Amino acid sequence: MDESRGRTTLSRRDVLLRLWTWGTGLAVIDPRIARAVDSAKTVLKPTRKAQARSVIQIWLSGGPSHLDTFDPKPNAGSDYCGPLNKPISTNVAGIQIGELLPLLAQQADKYSIVRSMTHGVNAHETASYLVQTGHNPGEGLVYPCLGAVVTLFRGYDHGYQGLVPPYIALTTPLGRFSEAGFLGEQYAPFATGGDPNQKRFTVEGIVSEGLTDRRSHGRRELVRSLDTFGKTMSDNPYFRRVDECERKADETVAKAAKLFDLSQETNETRERYGRNTFGQSCLAARRLVEYGVPYVIINSPGWDTHKQHFQIMRQKLPQLDQGLANLLSDLAARGLLSSTIVWCCGEFGRTPKIDWQPPWNGGRGHFGHCFSALVAGGGFAGGHVIGATDARGEEVAQRPVYPQDLLGSIIRLLGVDPSGILPNDRGLSVQVMPAKEGGRGRLDEIM
Amino acid sequence: MASRQGRARLGGPGSHSRSRSIEVLVLIAALSIFPLANAYARSPIGGLFETERERIPGNAIDSFVEPRLRACGLEPAPLCSDEVFVRRVHLDVIGTLPLPKEVRRFLADRRTDKRAALVDELLKRDEFADYWSLKWCDLLRVKSEFPGNLWPNAVQAYHRWVHDAIRENWPYDRFARELLTSSGSNFRVAPVNFYRAIQSRQPSSIAEAVALSFMGTRIAKWPEAQRLGMASFFTRVVYKSTSEWKEEIVELDPAATLPLKAVFPDGSTVKISPDQDPRRVFADWLVAPQNPWFARNVVNRVWSWLLGHGIIHEPDDIRPDNPPVLPELLSFLEKELVNARYDLVHVYRLILNSRTYQQSSIVRSEHPAAESLFARYPVRQLDAEVLIDAICGITGVGEDYWSSTPEPFTFIPESQRTITLADGSITSSFLEMFGRPARDTGLESERRNQPTEAQRLHLLNSTHIQRKIARSERLRRLVQTGRRKAPELIRLIYLGVLSRNPTEDEMTAVESYCRSCGLNPLQIGQDLVWALFNTKEFLCKH
């Protein structure tokens, strides 16, 4: 925390509070007010000419193996490759990816692969926090995830007027820490709950289960006639806020339910994305960014494959392949890829060397030394590989990329200077996303 | 910790038909002796929530508050009604709705000192320790992770220690002193976790946490020399891991050989020899009766917890340029605490028995200073944990809390109430949505009991709430057993959800719904519970 700033300046909220108490004659005028009001005018804003407007994050929670996905090492031997030793060529000359990703191989011109992601942390919690926030824990503050930062710059504070929340998690929140950090709850994701692969995608709070319209309507009427206490002081500010929230909630339900209704898509489309939770989440994400939602995260669990690694890869990678490849090709076909960033990775990679000993019997452990990330759209060029790992995928060999530099690149494409000051109501002077000290900077090669 | 989930809410224990019918008889008797609903129908609406009879004596607190109000041209609000009081004081003191039978007993009680008697009773309840442990664990940042890493075992030990201290009503100075001066294992000597539940372990961060917790002040606003002077008391704190997984020893650096020079926040300096514990020297200074921060901080916090606004506001931002709005009241409460040998329950009792606390929350005109001068009891949204406990308690359908990270995994039985959860990082969309604090900073403002659109969506439309009502065996038994007539059912549901009887108008509205909706009695009961969950009255303390 920059303490000197805390001592001499006031947050915008302080100013409003002070102006208010001043108006009531209860407080003295603080000479710092004038200065704080001035500085509030220069609060960091996104530029209008930004390339990217929306972000879809595909979070492979638990840490997927880089060797079996985007950084194959067929020459490293069977202790490293196991049964997956025949990588496939893509539609970009010279780029090969894992053999279980044939559909993504046909879309390689649309994305770039960062093979030299690194942070060196092997614990899920710490690594997740680091990759999502760009900060190490223990820095004295709890930082917001990228989704919350994007919501700050692209959500209701800056012109988003959608009826669904600006930051949506399909279908669960991350769970290990609060995504909004010190920015506060209004920048936290709305988690849909439910399962988009079910006949009816019951989105918590928006699409409810099995009530007739007549009964729903009757119940609402009943609430109104029983709101005796609320009516005793209808101009109470707190009650007015409740009413205002309720009015917005009703608007959301009326119009947003359709957005989450995947039966509006053809069967062919739904099949193409894969009839599983992940595939249908990709389809829902496409519908949401089409509508204008600035940030969608798909939280895909189950990548922590200490045991039965290859069995799980054969089950999960085809789903990832189908969902993500169709998402990219659909976004491109609809002209949305140029304004939508898609990024996909987990909190780390997995040990290149397979552990054949019991109890692992062919598993891979946590590996923060290097891992891969996929980035596409919104101003990121496709068809490139950034950085490289060594012959066995155990060390970064070229151009290390740290989480903060990947996140900072995304923020820049959204029209926000990542080295600017993150607006906040605590009067903290912290950069949006400082570059990694001693790192090689943002992904200028593909921006 | 005793679970209260099993206690019946909607009007009877349910499984014993004899006691149920007795309760119904008692209810009918109570209703015939006190035809309250009828009385309300004749008086203006305030009559339900306020009383014109000044039945409580009030106390010294009122003699500080009321003259100031009048000087500002404000009248104190009328006294709240017994129905409002019984619900309010349960929610404020034990974070728990009263059971229907508790409401009925209180309303039927004709003693003139029944409010004071109820206060005394609640201050002794187990849930008092449950609820205030929740509050203190917010301030002490008790969560297994993340990004702090207290770890689950230490969280349980720390929470248990806080709970014991509150249940046994330790003098507050002892509570603070043990937190500040303990050494040992995070699993075995629980209060050492005070030094571990901090974002960074630099002496300056420790000083910041100590000042915030026990002095109610933010040292980021102090001059640098003053900050460093205070930080030096904590320069000898060291952390050592052991061979046991996730165990950590907090102790003083045994290698220290030089005397330490430190400066108390009031500017006086002290030289501490290597065989002295600098934390103890600091604690001696802090808990001394004449210390200008220690008692002031805690009485101001208790006041703000009960009355929604600090005498110094925000309650954790005490500084010379943020003066108390009623300085004499604050000094009075400080003296009361010190003279009562730091018995915090004494301060609770004083505040709860004041007329100021027992004012109505209804205001006819919004005066901007009404809230900060305590011209009424402020309407406040229920804490997330209290709200979900109320919903679970009424329906009898609990929450399923679990966490697969970090290890060891945590699974909480469905019967355990949310206010008793030790770990602030247990995952729950509901709690986050309704403003549970992240327990990162220990700031009071981390808890955000403000309405949001997502909250409205959730209460109105979510499967989560719908299912609790639909699966409520308690409601099913209430509706389907015995031969209760509709008005009785409606009253029982009202007592369970809003802790009062329905007014005549409400009764008419529900009866007309019964006739027109074409639903069976169970469905009507479900709809009524759902509708009352969605009233503002249910959502807040008032």
Q: For the segment B96-114, what is each residue's pLDDT rounded down to a tens digit?
A: 999 999 999 999 999 999 9
Residues 184-213 of A with CB under 8 A from B: 184-186, 188, 190-191, 193-194, 202, 204-209, 211
- Please give the residue of chain B at the shortest CA–CA distance from A140: B199
Instruction: Evaluate if residue B364 carries a pLDDT over 80.
Output: no
Q: What are the beta bridge partners of residue A341?
A: A55
A50 with A182, same domain? yes
When scoring A17, A185, A213, A241 by the number of chain B Cβ atoms within 10 A, the one with the most, hence best to mutate, is: A185
The verdict on residue A371 lying in a domain is yes
pLDDT at A354 over 60: yes
Task: For residue B510, give the chain A residue with the closest CA.
Answer: A222
Q: For A208, which of B380, B461, B519 is closest by C-beta distance?
A: B461
What is the rounded CA–CA span in Å between residue A120 and residue B164? 41
How far apart CA B315 and CA B324 sit, in angstroms, is 10
Q: From A236, which residue of chain B is nearest by alpha-carbon distance? A: B366
Q: How confident is the model at residue A1 (pLDDT cuts 50, 70, 90)?
A: very low
In a domain, A4, yes or no: no
Give every CB contact of residue B349 below 8 A, 6+ residues apart in sequence.
B119, B120, B123
Domain boundary residue, one of A241, A259, A277: A259
Residue A222, domain extent = 217-259
> Which residue of chain A has the CA closest to B406?
A125
- Using the predicted structure, report yes or no on whether residue A37 has a pLDDT greater than 70: no
How do A295-300 and A54-60 pair as beta strands?
Answer: parallel
Q: How confident is the model at residue A128 (pLDDT cuts 50, 70, 90)?
A: very high
Facing A26 at nearest CB: one of B147, B369, B540: B369
The residue-averaged pLDDT of B86-95 equals: 98
Examine the domain organization and report whether A199 and A235 are in the same domain. no
- Does residue B314 have a cis bond before it (omega within 30 degrees)? yes
The model's pTM? 0.83
- pLDDT by residue (tens digit) across B304-350? 999 999 999 999 999 999 999 999 999 999 999 999 999 999 999 99
A3 within a domain of the structure (yes/no):
no
- Count other Cβ atoms within 10 Å, centred on residue B76: 20
- Tell whether A421 and A381 lie within a shared domain: yes
Q: Are residues A179 and A231 in the same domain?
A: no
Domain final residue pick, A227, A243, A259: A259
Residues from chain B that touch A226, judged by Cβ atoms under 8 A, are: 506, 509-510, 531-532, 535
User: Cβ A141–B510 below 8 Å, yes or no?
Assistant: no
Around A122, how many Cα atoms within 13 Å sit in the side-chain half-sphere?
Answer: 7
Residues in chain B within 8 Å Cβ distance of A429? none
Q: Give how many domains chain A has, as a whole number.
A: 2
Q: Is residue A185 part of a domain?
A: yes
* Eight-class DSSP state of B193: G
Q: A377 vs chain B: nearest CA distance in angstroms?
A: 30
* A239 φ/ψ angles, rounded to the nearest 5 degrees: -65, -35
Residue A378: which CATH number?
A: 3.40.720
Determine, yes or no, domain membership for A359: yes
Residue B146: asked if its preceding bond is cis (omega within 30°), the reply is yes
What's the pLDDT tens digit per position in B168-181?
999 999 999 999 99
Answer yes or no: is pLDDT of A23 > 60: no
**A222 and A307 assigned to the same domain:** no
- What ipTM does the predicted assembly reach? 0.86
Same domain, A354 and A242: no
Residue A275 distance to chain B (closest CA, Å): 23
Rounded to the nearest 5°, which phi and psi values hold at A94? 90, -10
User: For residue B57, what are the contacts with CB-CB under 8 A and spacing of at least 6?
Assistant: none
Q: Give residues 379 to 408 of A whose Cβ lies within 8 Å of B.
A: none
- Assess whether pLDDT exceeds 50 at residue B41: no
- Nearest residue in chain B measured CA to CA from A222: B531
Q: What is the pLDDT of residue B365?
A: 64
Q: For residue range A44-56, what is the model confidence (pLDDT) as tens digits?
A: 888 878 899 999 9
pLDDT at A18: 36
Tokens (6 digits) for B248: 């950590």
Report the sign of the C-alpha dihedral through residues A346, A352, A356, A358, in that order: negative
Residue B320's closest CA among A30, A414, A256?
A: A30
Residues A80 and A156 in one domain: yes
A407 and A316 inside one domain:
yes
Residue A1 maps to a domain = no
Q: What is the pLDDT of residue A16?
A: 40
From B535, which residue of chain A is nearest by alpha-carbon distance?
A227
Buried b (16+ CB within 10 A) or exposed e, A109-126: bbbbbbbbbbbebbbbbb
Instruction: For chain A, count helices (H), then strands (E).
Output: 14, 14
Number of A to B CB contacts under 8 A, please give it: 209
User: Which of B538, B397, B395 is CA-nearest to residue B479?
Assistant: B395
Separation CA B233–CA B227 (nearest Å): 11
Do residues B329 and B311 lie in contact, with contact meaning Cβ atoms separated by under 8 Å? yes
8 Å CB contact of B528 and A126: no
A112 and A183 assigned to the same domain: yes
In a domain, A177, yes or no: yes
Same domain membership, residue A245 and residue A174: no
Helical H segments across A347-423, by residue range: 403-413
Given an 8 Å threshold on Cβ–Cβ distance, is A227 in contact with B535?
yes
Q: Are residues A244 and A272 in the same domain?
A: no
Domain assignment of residue A6, yes or no? no
A228 in the same domain as A193: no
| Cα distance between residue A65 and residue A393, in whole Å | 10
The dihedral built from the CA positions of residue B373, B375, B380 and B386, taken in this order, carries a sign that is positive
Inter-chain CB proximity A175 and B530 less than 8 Å: no
Looking at CA atoms only, how far is residue B197 from chain A in angstroms?
11
